[in-house]
Chain A
Amino acid sequence: MNHALTSCPSEDELHAWVDERDETLASAERSAIDTHLGSCNVCTDQVEELRLFRTLLLRTRVPTLDDEQWRLLDQRVEMLAGEPPPTGGRVAGRIYWGVAIAAALSLFAIGAWQLMSDRGESPTSILSPNGQARVAGAFAAVEVAMAEGAMEFAGADGRFRRLAAGDKLERNGQIRNVGTEQGRLVVAGNFEMKLGQGAVVRVLADNEREFFVRLRHGEVRCQVGKRKPGQRFGVLAGQFRASVVGTEFTVRHDDQGRVAVEVSEGAVRVEEAADPWRDAGETTVVVRAGNRWRFTGGRMDLGPIVPAVAPAAQIPAAQIPAAQIPAAQAPAAPVAEAVASDAPEGDTDQAPAAAPTARAARAARRAPLKGRVTEVSASKRKATAPTAVSPEEKPEARSAPAKPGRTVETGEPRLPPPLPPQAALPAPVQHADAPATSPAKAAKAAKPTPASNKPGAKARRPGEHRIYIDLPPQSMTPEEVLRAKAAEAAKAGHRANPGADAR
């Protein structure tokens, strides 16, 4: 039975009538509109317009992905499907403010707990030297200013997603380069990281004042623009922390635990530290432009960056015995901080790890013979550069006779096979005019020395000490270097190790 319409149908009803998939009009209503349209020209014209409108809708399908986009997407999801399900939950859909606030408070508490757990120290250690809470700024995520290449980021939910400009990097999130080319990332305004293929880093400190990442494996090349006062950037790899003093450097870390830092511009401070906030371990090395530092086979060495095809005579490098490096997880050893006396002008890095902390100074006073701080600038070192001995020599170093000329090695390919620890142990470094090899002399040498020990050096800060590692003159041939090294080993009473010397 058809219902006769007493007036024209509404626009909504006509829309529904035109729509082939309509589920809103009953069949009786549809029949009534059919009847009405046969006698109403106005409605008939309107229906014609609505049909055109539906044509428009039929045309307006959003283009789908092309085959290449599908192929890449399939790969990404397949890779994810192989990973274990991430832990932690996320509220899908609407998040009410109350829930959000509760979550924020929980996150704050968890973050503070994690921060303390990471440090393994008392709650007071999360305070900055001037007593201000460091935690407060640690939860402001750093914004990615630019991202190039196939880089992905996984936050607290563990889900990797493509990293793009404007994204926020959360603390403990991971960045990985899944592309075949180098991925480029600019964060905190002026810190640029280039991740090599397959490189994975974890964000440790996530505010623009302190941005640190841990290189899990792979290679990351960093470049830093002009820093704001107090700004800190750095990369942790293995048990070491490479903090930015200057501008451009590369950190490598492989699965064998080998770490290498190459500095192209400016300077980088390499310290033994397991996290961004920990005081540095016994050894601190400032690596200047054109040099590389590396830790391989249980020992460290420093030297010029060796080009792919090494020249006949390289600038020799210095070695620092790993035997004198405590394990990263060992109880905090007394530390004397590096003296960046010839740091670039304008270097305002006042980070706790770099600045002489009261704790470090107290530790130095308590145990003045344990600290070892090394500042090396191999490229700047002259043939006649003096050799200095720290007044804070290690006990085992004090027992060894003074030897001029620290362990040296010729320029060699990167990451050589390791020496046996004992064979690699060099004699303590001596300074020509301060041969402090006994406790008495060490105590004497512990008195403040004039800054003129090193030409152009700034005044030394209290509690800071330096060791200059003397290197053979650059004019020495590799054979002369080996001879000097063998003579040094013989004097030190070590059994000769031809294999090691031949290196």
Chain B
Amino acid sequence: MAAVQTRDDKVREDAVDKRLIAAYTRGNSHALSELYRRHSRRVESVARHVVGPIDEVEDIVQDVFIELQRALHKFRGESRFTTWLHRVTVNVSLQHLRKKKRKGWARWTSLDQVPRHAPRSRSLERQTEARETVRVLYEVLETLTEKKRVVFSLYELEGLSLEEISQAVGTSVNTVKSRLFHARREIFSEVKRRGAMPTHTLQVIK
């Protein structure tokens, strides 16, 4: 499990990012490579939780860094670089989905297609149950509107804070909160209706 970053850590990391951006705008192309090494995992994680389990996540990550390459000189440094990066990633991911005219969540039509690493239980019965719940949740996510789905998945699955999400999607924290509550309600009732609620709780899954 990754160590939790303190506020000081974040400030220090952000200062490094901004030095790299300054170097890139001065013509040092290695700075972009370094930014990629520092943030590629974060970008990939946000992208796959926006678009769902589709195969084109690599393309989205690449597109995000191409977008950075094009627009880094526009970054004014008023916010944290990661905040800006989240926003670019969400935008590129949504553009990708709109271009493909499909959503990425309802991918697995049968239980066998659900990744085996999703359940972590040792019991075969519980593994099957867990995979079924995962499949149902993904199907329900597919039915949500784009705005609610993005907020829900970024908060619940990716683990971003409400403020980070509000900056990433370009709206207020209250709007994010509202979308999150609506999404939770819809998903919760639909999962219950389908009888896919887990029969036991898991404390820690990472």
Do B201 and A52 touch (CB < 8 A)? Answer: yes
Interface presence of B13 (CB below 8 A):
no
- Which residues between 81 and 98 of chain A lie within 8 Å of chain B, taking CB atoms? 81-83, 85-86, 89-90, 92-93
- Which residues between 35 and 73 of chain B lie within 8 Å of chain A, taking CB atoms? 36, 40, 44-45, 48-49, 52-53, 56-59, 61-63, 65-67, 69-71, 73
Do A62 and B53 touch (CB < 8 A)? Answer: yes
Q: Which residues of B have CB within 8 Å of A80?
A: 62, 65-66, 69
Taken residue by residue from 441 to 455, chain A's Cβ proximity to chain B (1 for < 8 Å, 0 otherwise) reads as 000000000000000
**Highest count of chain B CB atoms <10 Å: which of A52, A80, A81, A90:** A81
Do A64 and B44 touch (CB < 8 A)? Answer: yes
Do B40 and A161 touch (CB < 8 A)? Answer: no
Given A60-B157, A86-B70, A65 and B185 contact (CB-CB distance below 8 Å): no
Taken residue by residue from 4 to 25, chain A's Cβ proximity to chain B (1 for < 8 Å, 0 otherwise) reads as 0000000110010000010110
Q: Report how far A55 CA is from B170 CA in the complex, Å.
A: 29
Contact of A60 (CB < 8 Å), options: B62, B63, B118, B181: B118
Known: A77-B61, A81-B33, A85-B73. 20 other contacts (CB 8 A): A15-B184, A21-B159, A24-B162, A55-B201, A56-B133, A56-B191, A56-B198, A57-B156, A58-B205, A59-B119, A73-B40, A76-B62, A78-B36, A81-B65, A83-B69, A86-B69, A86-B70, A89-B70, A92-B88, A166-B100
Please report A residues at the B interface, Cβ cutoff 8 Å. Answer: 11-12, 15, 21, 23-24, 49-65, 69, 72-74, 76-78, 80-83, 85-86, 89-90, 92-93, 157, 159-162, 164, 166
Contact of A12 (CB < 8 Å), options: B53, B56, B95, B181: B181
Q: Report how far A81 CA is from B118 CA in the complex, Å.
A: 34
Shortest Cβ distance from B31 into A: residue:
A81
Q: Report how far A86 CA is from B65 CA in the complex, Å.
A: 12
CB distance from A143 to the nearest CB of B (A): 13
CB distance from B128 to the nearest CB of A (A): 13
CB distance from B54 to the nearest CB of A (A): 9
Shortest Cβ distance from B69 into A: residue:
A85
Do A55 and B62 touch (CB < 8 A)? Answer: no
Given A52-B197, A61-B157, A92-B91, A81 and B52 contact (CB-CB distance below 8 Å): no
Q: Report how far A15 CA is from B59 CA in the complex, Å.
A: 35
- Which residues between 160 and 184 of chain B lie within 8 Å of chain A, taking CB atoms? 161-162, 170, 177, 181, 184
Q: Which residues of B have CB within 8 Å of A159?
A: 63, 66-67, 69-70
Q: Report how far A115 CA is from B161 CA in the complex, Å.
A: 50
Q: Report how far A90 CA is from B66 CA in the complex, Å.
A: 11
Do A81 and B69 touch (CB < 8 A)? Answer: yes
Do A53 and B197 touch (CB < 8 A)? Answer: yes
Taken residue by residue from 118 to 140, chain B's Cβ proximity to chain A (1 for < 8 Å, 0 otherwise) reads as 11100000000010011001100
Do B62 and A78 touch (CB < 8 A)? Answer: no
Q: Which 6 A-B pairs have the closest CB atoms?
A: A159-B66, A58-B205, A81-B32, A81-B33, A12-B181, A62-B48
What are 27 A-to-B residue pairs whose CB atoms are below 8 Å? A11-B188, A15-B181, A24-B177, A51-B201, A52-B200, A52-B201, A54-B201, A55-B202, A56-B137, A56-B196, A57-B137, A57-B156, A61-B205, A62-B53, A63-B115, A64-B45, A65-B58, A73-B40, A77-B33, A77-B36, A77-B62, A81-B33, A81-B36, A85-B73, A93-B91, A157-B70, A162-B58
Interface presence of B76 (CB below 8 A):
no
Q: Which residues of B have CB within 8 Å of A11?
A: 185, 188
Do A63 and B53 touch (CB < 8 A)? Answer: yes
Interface presence of B117 (CB below 8 A):
yes
Q: Which residues of B have CB within 8 Å of A77?
A: 33, 36, 40, 61-62, 65
Q: Which residues of A have CB within 8 Å of B30?
A: 81
Do B29 and A81 touch (CB < 8 A)? Answer: yes
Q: Report how far A103 CA is from B88 CA in the complex, Å.
A: 22
Do B134 and A60 touch (CB < 8 A)? Answer: yes
- Which residues between 184 and 206 of chain B lie within 8 Å of chain A, taking CB atoms? 184-185, 188, 191-192, 196-202, 204-205
Do A161 and B198 touch (CB < 8 A)? Answer: no
Given A64-B45, A82-B29, A157-B70, A59 and B88 contact (CB-CB distance below 8 Å): no
Do B62 and A73 touch (CB < 8 A)? Answer: yes
Do A60 and B202 touch (CB < 8 A)? Answer: no
Shortest Cβ distance from A12 into B: residue:
B181
Shortest Cβ distance from B100 into A: residue:
A166
Q: Which residues of A have CB within 8 Å of B192?
A: 49
CB distance from B36 to the nearest CB of A (A): 5
CB distance from B205 to the nearest CB of A (A): 4
Q: Report how far A57 CA is from B158 CA in the complex, Å.
A: 10
CB distance from B111 to the nearest CB of A (A): 14
Do A72 and B58 touch (CB < 8 A)? Answer: yes
CB distance from B169 to the nearest CB of A (A): 10
Q: Report how far A86 CA is from B58 CA in the complex, Å.
A: 20
CB distance from A96 to the nearest CB of B (A): 14
Q: Report how far A85 CA is from B71 CA in the complex, Å.
A: 9
Shortest Cβ distance from B30 into A: residue:
A81
Do A23 and B69 touch (CB < 8 A)? Answer: no
Q: Report how far A21 CA is from B177 CA in the complex, Å.
A: 13
- Which residues between 134 and 157 of chain B lie within 8 Å of chain A, taking CB atoms? 134, 137-138, 156-157
Given A15-B184, A53-B188, A90 and B201 contact (CB-CB distance below 8 Å): no
Shortest Cβ distance from B32 into A: residue:
A81
Do A161 and B65 touch (CB < 8 A)? Answer: no
Q: Which residues of B have CB within 8 Å of A69?
A: 58
Q: Report how far A342 CA is from B130 CA in the complex, Å.
A: 69
Q: Which residues of B have CB within 8 Å of A86?
A: 66, 69-70
**Highest count of chain B CB atoms <10 Å: which of A54, A62, A78, A86:** A62
Given A93-B91, A162-B59, A63 and B36 contact (CB-CB distance below 8 Å): no
Q: Report how far A122 CA is from B31 CA in the complex, Å.
A: 46
Do B130 and A59 touch (CB < 8 A)? Answer: yes
Q: Which residues of A have CB within 8 Å of B177?
A: 24
Shortest Cβ distance from B71 into A: residue:
A92
**Highest count of chain A CB atoms <10 Å: which of B45, B120, B177, B201:** B201
Q: Report how far A73 CA is from B64 CA in the complex, Å.
A: 12
Do A161 and B59 touch (CB < 8 A)? Answer: yes
Q: Report how far A195 CA is from B34 CA in the complex, Å.
A: 32
Q: Which residues of A have CB within 8 Å of B65?
A: 77, 80-81
